[in-house]
Structure 1
Amino acid sequence: MTSAYAAVYKEWRDDPELFWRKAAKAIDWIKAPQKIFDAGAGVYGLWFPDAVCNACANAVDRHVEAGRGDQAAIIYDSPVTGTKRTLTYAQLQEEVGTLAAVLRKHGVEKGDRVIIYMAMIPEAVIGMLACARIGAIHSVVFGGFAAQELAKRIDDCAPKLVLAASCGVEPNRVVHYKPLLDEAIELAARKPAAVLMLRRPQEPATPTQGRDFDWTAEVEAARAQGLFADCVPVAATDPLYILYTSGTTGAPKGVVRDTGGYLVALEWTMSNVYDVKPGEVFWAASDVGWVVGHSYIVYGPLIHGATTIIYEGKPVGTPDPGAFWRVIEEHGVASLFTAPTALRAIKKEDPAGTWLQRYDVSRLRALFLAGERADPDTIQWAEKILNVPVVDHWWQTETGWAIAANPLGLGMAPVKYGSPTFPMPGYDLSVVDDLGHDAGRNEMGTILLRLPLPPGNLVALWNQEARMRAGYLDDFPGFYKTGDGGYVDDDGYVFVMGRIDDVINVAGHRLSTGGMEEVIASHPDVAECAVIGMNDAIKGEQPCGFIVLKAGTSGTHERIEKELVQLVRDKVGPVAAFKTAIVVDRLPKTRSGKILRGAMKKIADHDPWTTPATIDDPAVLDDIADALKAKGI
């Protein structure tokens, strides 16, 4: 297949404003944009500064008005509770309009903030859309987030109201949200006026007198009274949401996404990057608490008129490694978007892909990976068992959509394993050395994006303009610093090797831990791995690899560790000074599946450390400490 990528990227390069003016025609505007970009507004300019729109109208109402109200908008599938539910676009409109009326009853209006602290259930999406409907700014905080971290976010955005569920449900436990929320509100200085609590059957939760209101009762009362909120016109430049980046220390960093640019960018990606058609089923196996959930569980698919899946479960253990394949067969998924760590979890438990044979996944056309670096071994494994294109693409919480991808809708370019392929229209990418000079082809450096960033990217950090400038813009004037390191090869393919912090200095040699991980992951017994740089008195830093083996692996840990040391020596070279490989049962990860390499490094260096707020299971860090101690580290 011939890719139209080069022609489309050139079209953007030749006239960026005309490119986005054309893309904006796919959105329903209350007042269509006349001016496309205002370079003098915001920290680097604002898109569609004179336009007026509403995100909920584009995600819900316009599909009902177009006669597609009976089409499924949301499929909820919860193996942990044994629950399935489908909401059509017409049903979603009714639910969202009613909840929006309840929010108004509690004093929430345009510009007010609402924190959403919920599990992966339809009400979380309904809550987001209800806020968008009346022009309120939502801030979703991952359900079960630690009380102290939640309190920081409450103080930062000062919500008028909190939408919460009483609990989350994990495979082997119920996570009680209500006590965490109560503690957070107690700690917060800027307390919300009210909490609307969805009381799940697994945790009825006793309401706090005078503050907590029963979600179901309030919605039923509003419905009985015929209360329904219409969509409120908002400026395209008005904030749609605040999303706090994971793993922050100190004051949280609230990424602000504007409304109009986000709608335009997401609609463009659904066709051109993901090759999904209205009415098809798109599944982003993430969580609404993360940026992937915002962009591709909620807004992207619904704006496009697709059917989205809300999955309350895991890739393995709910109940088995065939969980994803069962969902794909049962709901006719055309395109799956997940994190590499989910695939590695499946591969670890079922390396031969035998569970896949139980299901008909023939309607699946593509698998997309993002969230962390996708190692070539995992991509090739998925290609082999699924026999569909596996597309690695790279983006950030701050960007809201892909910086680099192999755009399926434009025709796939040849795959280079380890590369998310090419920059997308809107992104002018370069790689520089430590002095800010062009690094040249195939040379490692810091990845920058020339300003302005395209529509859909962050427009601010909430109430922290100086921090935004210092964190992203000041080091390289005229550019956005991604914080990621990598290189561009002779064919223009981008290789993202990890955060700049993951480039280690071994006796003066700058080496990518991502490159070492790629080598380790190629070993047939390795399910997943992480490499960190430990402090070393002589060499400055020395790499240390943590390895999780596939189920049923034979041979001693000592043998495999020796093989991995030799493999890195053969593939990367003696310069890597790779001498320490440690087999562990599991790696510490955030709930979105990102490996917490920074925490592992602190433990290895014997630096003071605290449990990251985003960690899925804190006990894993103790296991890492024990494994290091057993090696005399």
Structure 2
Amino acid sequence: KKKMKDVYPASTESSLDAYKAAHAASIADPSSYWSKLAKEKLHWFSPFTTVQSGSFSEGDIAWFLDGKLNACYNAVDRYCHPPFNRGEEVAILWEGDEASDVRSITFNELFRGVCKIANALKARGVKRGDVVTLYMPMVPELAMTMLACARIGAVHSVVFAGFSADAIADRICDAKSKWVVTADGGKRGGRNLPLKQIIDKAISKGDCVSIVEAVFVFEHTGSGSDDMKSEKDVAFDELIAAQRPYCPCEWMDSEDVLFILYTSGSTGRPKGVLHTTGGYTLYAMHTTATTFDLKKGDVFACVADAGWITGHTYIVYGPLLNGMQTFMFESTPMYPDH
């Protein structure tokens, strides 16, 4: 008779006792615990010298000081090469609003696509430290643009694609975001979402008029050609097509900001929460592996939206940092109703 552990082998700890021992070690000597994980699980361009500084009570925490790395490299590049050699394995499996609309993107294809988007952004002047606001449907290009920003050291700020023009304008102005990436439209539950029209309203409000320099527009529904009227509008697909499929990574300090994600604003003015590169990257990788017991060959599905931290961590960064296939879902679980 087979034992459960032989039928369902664990990916992280071999038993509950081993898990408890690892947990105890993380509490007894957190610096050693996180140092070992960071060195084993992530690729560092320059090693860190100090694991953690600051006080949790004061909130001035910093992780992996002096270390340099790149979140995109850790999530994409290294899985295309030895020792992993997963380039021809699927990285993103996407299903659109209609179940017949399916795309599979390998790690090699993801690498080339991310590099071309990164080069397109750089060609229009996006540089390290710039904030790029993303207001997009749940399509692979959303994840690819997030990774492209990480690759060149730009800070992505994803805004949930159900928010109003006023909500977008608030976030653009607060982040001083000169660059906006959107799509002509989105699809959800059988409805078309006029994303570009909403962005046009947002950037016409208050300080957004002077802050925003360019709006990069993906074609998704084919419904937005009439909306490409402003001199700020950039046909993103055309710009991307003209780029090289390779873009070098910017090696970021561990404490450099990877992304800003705003709170919902339901209890007051939305607050932009900064997530830094080293600490978040290890957190996303480790929690995904341990919480969901990921193993090579798994397909991981999270039907959250990338406009929230759940989607950032468990649709984009967490699975890909573990070299796993992630499932992106444009629609709603209630559609179609059959």
| TM-score, shorter chain, exceeding 0.5 | yes
Consecutive unaligned residues in structure 1, runs of 5 or more: 321-633
User: 29, 42, 50: which one pairs with 2:44?
Assistant: 29
Amino acid at match of 2:74: N
What is aligned with 1:3? 16
| Residues 39-118 of structure 1 aligned to structure 2 (within 5 Å) | 39=54, 43-66=59-82, 67-80=85-98, 82-118=100-136
- 2: CA distance, partners of 1:124 / 1:241: 14
Q: Deviations over 1:177-220 (max 9, x none)?
A: 11211111011404311011012235234213310011111111
- 1: CA distance, partners of 2:302 / 2:144: 17
- 1: CA distance, partners of 2:59 / 2:180: 30
Is the partner of 1:94 in helix, strand or coil? helix
Deviation at 1:82, TM superposition (A): 3.5
What is aligned with 1:125? 143
| Residues 197-276 of structure 1 aligned to structure 2 (within 5 Å) | 197-205=217-225, 206-222=227-243, 226=244, 228-276=246-294
- 1: CA distance, partners of 2:291 / 2:107: 24
- 2: CA distance, partners of 1:202 / 1:217: 14
| Residues 143-542 of structure 1 aligned to structure 2 (within 5 Å) | 143-190=161-208, 191-205=211-225, 206-222=227-243, 226=244, 228-320=246-338
Is the partner of 1:186 in helix, strand or coil? coil
Tell me the TM-score normalised to structure 2 length: 0.89
Q: Deviations over 1:34-86 (max 9, x none)?
A: 21012279833211111100000000000012221101000011143731111
- 2: CA distance, partners of 1:114 / 1:313: 25
Amino acid at match of 1:194: A
Assess if the C-alpha contact under 8 Å between 2:255 and 2:276 holds in 1.
yes
Assess if the C-alpha contact under 8 Å between 1:174 and 1:202 holds in 2.
no
- 2: CA distance, partners of 1:166 / 1:250: 30
Amino acid at match of 1:199: E
Amino acid at match of 1:69: G
Q: Deviations over 1:305-349 (max 9, x none)?
A: 0000111122222243xxxxxxxxxxxxxxxxxxxxxxxxxxxxx
**Deviation larger for 23-32 or 50-59:** 23-32
Consecutive unaligned residues in structure 2, runs of 5 or more: 5-14
- 2: CA distance, partners of 1:303 / 1:268: 9
Assess if the C-alpha contact under 8 Å between 1:144 and 1:176 holds in 2.
no
Amino acid at match of 1:204: G
Assess if the C-alpha contact under 8 Å between 1:29 and 1:53 holds in 2.
yes
Assess if the C-alpha contact under 8 Å between 2:139 and 2:330 holds in 1.
yes
Q: Taking CA–CA contacts closer than 8 Å with sequence separation of 6 or more, which of the two structures ends up with the larger relative contact order?
A: 2
Deviation at 1:144, TM superposition (A): 3.4
Assess if the C-alpha contact under 8 Å between 2:190 and 2:335 holds in 1.
no
What is aligned with 2:152? 134
Amino acid at match of 2:27: R
- 2: CA distance, partners of 1:173 / 1:204: 15
Is the partner of 2:65 in helix, strand or coil? coil
- 1: CA distance, partners of 2:23 / 2:285: 17
- 2: CA distance, partners of 1:146 / 1:137: 22
**Counterpart check, 1:19 vs 2:37:** no
Identity over aligned pairs, percent: 37
Q: Deviations over 1:526-581 (max 9, x none)?
A: xxxxxxxxxxxxxxxxxxxxxxxxxxxxxxxxxxxxxxxxxxxxxxxxxxxxxxxx
Amino acid at match of 2:277: T
Deviation at 1:261, TM superposition (A): 0.8
**Deviation larger for 54-63 or 269-278:** 269-278
What is aligned with 1:492? none
Assess if the C-alpha contact under 8 Å between 1:37 and 1:45 holds in 2.
yes
- 1: CA distance, partners of 2:98 / 2:138: 11
Deviation at 1:247, TM superposition (A): 3.7
- 2: CA distance, partners of 1:201 / 1:81: 16
Assess if the C-alpha contact under 8 Å between 1:80 and 1:169 holds in 2.
no
Q: Deviations over 1:218-270 (max 9, x none)?
A: 11122xxx363211100011110000112435432011111111111122223
Amino acid at match of 1:317: Y
- 2: CA distance, partners of 1:70 / 1:300: 20
Assess if the C-alpha contact under 8 Å between 1:154 and 1:188 holds in 2.
no
- 1: CA distance, partners of 2:43 / 2:27: 26
Assess if the C-alpha contact under 8 Å between 1:56 and 1:133 holds in 2.
yes
- 2: CA distance, partners of 1:171 / 1:8: 44
- 2: CA distance, partners of 1:154 / 1:250: 17
Task: Give 1 or 2 for the bigger CA radius of gyration.
Answer: 1
Amino acid at match of 2:87: G
What is aligned with 2:11? none
